[in-house]
């Protein structure tokens, strides 16, 4: 195998620095220099210089009281910069798969494009008999609970630019007919922080929807589960809401929304 052969282009100093950073783990979050030296394969003087360099660059932080080291903010920044460069579908796909498995409900990710929502990822529950939407499906934002959640961080001026007429387009049963009625629903959704849409768009199908935030605190997408019933069962409501909320927080953290990640 290629990775089992020695590489003649290695930079020894960089290799040693990365070896030392890799010594930190969940079991070794705070290490003295002596402990670090025992965990890495390098001379003591070299290890000392590597530690000093990494501390100077912010990749290690020293606790003056305990004289121990831990990973510094620059290590975290590198991770967040990379992960936040990925799109919502990339980081969200494994999360909605976990959500599907824990909730036993089909799960979706959607974003807003003007007055439409677009499904960007989906996974079906085992044995699901609901007619599933496919990736790329577009629906009017004002007709669905996912769309309402996507509207929660726009201003009144942006909302009226999006819907310039007092009468909303379409005639889907159950959808709001007037712009003001939709605005009031969206404000209630925003204050609540989530939407439980019980047969809102399609009779016999309910959904639980939470927002996903980007690093600037804007609603980047929404995550939902689809519950095949007119109402989310009261016995499962709290558990299901909590599972969707945790999944939303996880993806938000991946996108660099630090308050959610922490």
Residue 239 has pLDDT above 50, yes or no: yes
Q: State how far the Cα of 224 lies from the Cα of 210, in Å rounded to an integer.
A: 7
Average pLDDT of 45-69? 90
Instruction: Map residue 18 onto helix, strand or coil.
Output: helix
**DSSP, residue by residue, 208-246:** EEEEEE-TTS-EEEEEEEEESSSS--HHHHHHHHHHHHH
Is residue 261 over pLDDT 50? no
Q: What is the pLDDT of residue 41?
A: 82
Categorize the per-residue pLDDT at 262 as very low, low, confident or very high, splitting at 50, 70 and 90.
very low
- The predicted pLDDT at position 14 comes to 81
The boundaries of every CATH 1.10.10.10 domain in the chain are 8-71
Extract the tokens encoding 119.
Answer: 């499904």
Taking only the tens place, the pLDDT of each residue in 6-31 is 666 667 778 888 888 888 876 778 88
Q: Where in the chain is the domain with CATH 3.30.450.40?
A: 82-261
Instruction: Tell me whether residue 259 is exposed, middle or buried, using C-beta atoms within 10 angstroms of its C-beta: 0 to 12, 13 to 18, 19 or more.
Output: exposed
CA–CA gap between residue 37 and residue 51 (Å, rounded): 10
pTM of the complete model = 0.65
Residue-wise pLDDT for 98-123, tens only, equals 999 988 888 999 999 888 998 988 88
The architecture that CATH gives domain 82-261 is 2-Layer Sandwich (3.30)
Q: What pLDDT was estimated at residue 81?
A: 55
* For the chain, percent of residues with pLDDT exceeding 90: 32
Fold of 8-71: Arc Repressor Mutant, subunit A (1.10.10)
What's the token pair of residue 238?
A: 């709290």
Task: Say if residue 255's pLDDT is above 90.
Answer: no
Residues 6 or more apart whose CB falls under 8 angstroms from that of 237 comprise: 196
Of the CA atoms within 13 Å of residue 181, those in its CB half-sphere come to: 10
């Amino acid at each position: 195998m290629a990775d089992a052969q020695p590489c003649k282009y290695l930079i020894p100093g960089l290799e040693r620095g990365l070896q030392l950073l890799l010594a930190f783990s969940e079991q070794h979050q705070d290490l003295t220099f002596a402990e670090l030296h025992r965990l890495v394969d390098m001379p003591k003087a070299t290890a000392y210089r590597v530690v000093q360099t990494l501390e100077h660059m912010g990749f290690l932080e020293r606790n003056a009281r305990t004289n121990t080291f831990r990973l510094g903010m620059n290590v975290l920044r590198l991770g967040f910069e990379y992960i936040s460069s990925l799109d919502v579908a990339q980081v969200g796909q494994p999360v909605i798969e976990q959500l599907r498995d824990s909730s036993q409900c089909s799960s979706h990710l959607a974003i807003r494009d003007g007055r439409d929502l677009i499904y960007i990822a989906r996974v079906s529950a085992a044995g699901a008999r609901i007619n599933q939407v496919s990736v790329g499906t577009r629906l009017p934002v004002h007709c669905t609970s996912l769309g309402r959640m996507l509207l929660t961080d726009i201003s009144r001026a942006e909302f009226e630019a999006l819907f310039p007429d007092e009468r909303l387009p379409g005639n889907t049963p159950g959808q709001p007919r007037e712009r003001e009625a939709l605005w009031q629903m969206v404000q209630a959704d925003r204050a609540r922080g989530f939407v439980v849409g019980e047969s809102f768009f399609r009779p016999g199908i309910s959904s639980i929807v939470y927002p996903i935030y980007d690093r600037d605190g804007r609603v980047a997408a929404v995550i939902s589960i689809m519950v095949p019933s007119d109402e989310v069962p009261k016995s499962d409501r709290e558990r299901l809401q909590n599972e969707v909320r945790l999944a939303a927080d996880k993806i938000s953290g991946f996108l660099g929304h630090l308050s959610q990640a922490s």
